[in-house]
A and B are shown apart, each in its own frame.
Chain A
């Protein structure tokens, strides 16, 4: 047996390209002695991510398994990978100017982001518990370093340390759960686990024991706990506000976008793949986690005075809404999740881009009260932020409304009416703090003077994201179609 077939190489080509490019960029950074090394490499990394996205799109939607069953590509992974790549690229573009201004621009940052993105792609494509774990670690480890990238800043290093310690704990829980699942099924591959659990479900008529056994359910709950930490769903959300607040703002933008997409995709892959026969077991857990996340995201954000903390709670809430689609456990639910994440990405990118454009004493604005009267000092940015906030609150006709609509519809179809009603109530509460920001910007007097000058690249990211948010209603099929196809491959194959 030859270890690697050529066909395998064809299937993992985008990941291979990304890995080799990351090492190439690293070499370029170490040996390049130019003045603008950091900037060149950051743009090089953006280019690499874009090329990888094109390569991923070229993979098509068919289900293909490679590397001895460790790796799987299908319509769903392609959709989610493209989103993660776009998120990482947008966060990189936002970071370039900020890091140079803060005098912490170093070429390692883009390299770490590329490696983290590689980890995300491997997570999304994981087809066994072991592949899942190594992908997750690759992503998390790179992100821990990114969080404390501003190493002379106490809060940044604190954020990195907190993220690292809690992340290690969650990895431990995930591994413990995975080992229990392995102990029960005797397999780590997703397909083999699904088959074992399926057979296990069939023979509980003989009265010897009612399957699934307690052990595998305990294992499943631990796996869910580990994954819930990565998407920062309640009750595993504690790290999120502190890490968001402490990390440099462009890094927070990265945290809010790409890893969330990858982790949600992984969540869907794991629960709808190997554990699809245990729907009755995991559905109640996901419903609980989802309600708690939506409620906490709505209520805890009200009293925040820091913009980054507010966005942290807002992202916890958004993950709650996305998990509503997972709780539905249906194809419509997964379509909803795919659409939700696709629309969540531009809103987040636009919001963080705007924060990075508004500087006081060289620092991006963080206190919410400083946004007062923004419509008079910076009308364009105020309008863009208003669009993003309206969209996050889920007010039609903006994109955010449709994301929520699809997940709630799927939940109602699956008979989870209470969940959908609670979700709508939470989004009404959540609308309060989004609208408060808009009120501050449009009806209050300006209190601070922002520094002039903004990078064209950041403005481009903001305009593009805002355009997607506003114009989604004009061509909804451009995103809904691919999201449907993505969900179909997950359930059809």
Chain B
């Protein structure tokens, strides 16, 4: 128990500290590296909760794909953070004020928060009992059985995103030489090689 608690505080502490460093770091590349540290620690928290599949997913998807993408973008765009931060102090009072108002409003809403009487049972309904089934299978059952409809539509949304990206950016430039394999293979010797008799001292 005590080890688990220690591990929790370790992961949580490093997670919060790394999250602060993401926005505090001067160099954007360092920010992305701290973000990766965040993801790893969040993954650790998931393992502690017994959601090992989500932990692996977080590492594979966020560290493996998203963070690396961020890294590429940051390196390619050459963002100058000090320039971005210039207005920070200038906007701090008004930003802080809006944040404070929002926080008070949230507290008011949460203070008067009441659940519908049958909310708890409704919320628990789609989740199978974790003791009888491992969580990868449970996720699979929900995602691919109960909500297969939403899963398929999400696929269509991604298809639209792909078509959109191609429509808006692909330009077919003139004069691009493409490799046509059949034409390469179909070439015959007569078409390409010409044998000439060259007389000495005259050149071609």
B147 adjacent to A70 (CB under 8 Å): yes
> Among residues 118 to 168 in chain B, which have CB atoms less than 8 Å away from a CB atom of chain A?
118-123, 144-150, 153-154, 156-157, 159-161, 163-164, 166-168
Among B109, B113, B114, B168, residue most surrounded by chain A Cβ atoms (within 10 Å): B114
**Is B108 in the interface zone, CB < 8 Å from A?**
yes
**Is A159 in the interface zone, CB < 8 Å from B?**
no
B149 adjacent to A145 (CB under 8 Å): no
**Is B112 in the interface zone, CB < 8 Å from A?**
yes
Chain A neighbourhood of B163, CB < 8 A: 26, 108, 111-112, 115, 145
Chain B neighbourhood of A115, CB < 8 A: 156, 159-160, 163
**B 102-122 binary contact with A (CB < 8 Å = 1; else 0):** 000000111011111111111
From known contacts A3-B145, A71-B149, infer whether A112 and B116 are also in contact, taking CB-CB under 8 Å. no
Q: Which of A133-141, A258-266, A358-366 contacts B (4 or more CB under 8 A)?
A: A133-141
Rounded to whole angstroms, the CA-CA distance of A160 and B164 in the bound complex is: 11
Closest beta carbon of chain B to A322's beta carbon, Å: 27
**A 122-138 binary contact with B (CB < 8 Å = 1; else 0):** 10000000110011011
Rounded to whole angstroms, the CA-CA distance of A200 and B119 in the bound complex is: 10
- Of B123, B148, B150, which one neighbours A134 at CB under 8 angstroms? B150
B117 adjacent to A118 (CB under 8 Å): no
Chain A neighbourhood of B149, CB < 8 A: 12, 67-68, 70-71, 131
**A 182-210 binary contact with B (CB < 8 Å = 1; else 0):** 01111100001001110110010000110
Question: Looking across the interface, which residue of chain B has its beta carbon closest to that of A209?
Answer: B114
Q: Which of A211-219, A281-289, A291-299, A416-424 contacts B (4 or more CB under 8 A)?
A: A211-219
Closest beta carbon of chain A to B101's beta carbon, Å: 15
**Is A237 in the interface zone, CB < 8 Å from B?**
no
**Is A19 in the interface zone, CB < 8 Å from B?**
yes
Rounded to whole angstroms, the CA-CA distance of A183 and B160 in the bound complex is: 31
- Of A151, A186, A208, which one neighbours B116 at CB under 8 angstroms? A186
A192 adjacent to B112 (CB under 8 Å): no
**B 72-115 binary contact with A (CB < 8 Å = 1; else 0):** 00000000000000000000000000000000000011101111
Chain A neighbourhood of B112, CB < 8 A: 209, 213-215
A70 adjacent to B109 (CB under 8 Å): no
Closest beta carbon of chain B to A195's beta carbon, Å: 8
Q: How many residues of A contact B (CB 8 A)?
A: 52
Rounded to whole angstroms, the CA-CA distance of A279 and B110 in the bound complex is: 23
- Of B115, B117, B123, B150, which one neighbours A131 at CB under 8 angstroms? B150
**Is A163 in the interface zone, CB < 8 Å from B?**
no
Question: Looking across the interface, which residue of chain A has its beta carbon closest to that of B148?
Answer: A3
- Of A130, A192, A209, which one neighbours B150 at CB under 8 angstroms? A130
**A 69-83 binary contact with B (CB < 8 Å = 1; else 0):** 011000000000000
**Is A148 in the interface zone, CB < 8 Å from B?**
yes
Chain A neighbourhood of B150, CB < 8 A: 70, 130-131, 134
From known contacts A148-B168, A184-B119, A214-B109, infer whether A141 and B114 are also in contact, taking CB-CB under 8 Å. no
B167 adjacent to A145 (CB under 8 Å): yes
The 3 closest A-B pairs by CB, nearest first: A186-B119, A186-B123, A145-B164
Q: Which residues of A contact B (CB under 8 A)?
A: 1, 3-4, 12, 19, 23, 26, 67-68, 70-71, 106, 108, 111-112, 115, 118, 122, 130-131, 134-135, 137-138, 141-142, 144-145, 148-149, 151, 160, 183-187, 192, 195-197, 199-200, 203, 208-209, 211, 213-216, 218
Other A-B pairs, 19, CB within 8 Å; known A144-B164, A184-B114: A3-B148, A19-B156, A26-B163, A67-B148, A68-B149, A106-B167, A115-B159, A115-B163, A130-B150, A134-B154, A141-B160, A141-B161, A186-B115, A195-B118, A196-B116, A196-B117, A213-B113, A214-B109, A215-B114
Q: Which residues of B contact A (CB under 8 A)?
A: 108-110, 112-123, 144-150, 153-154, 156-157, 159-161, 163-164, 166-168
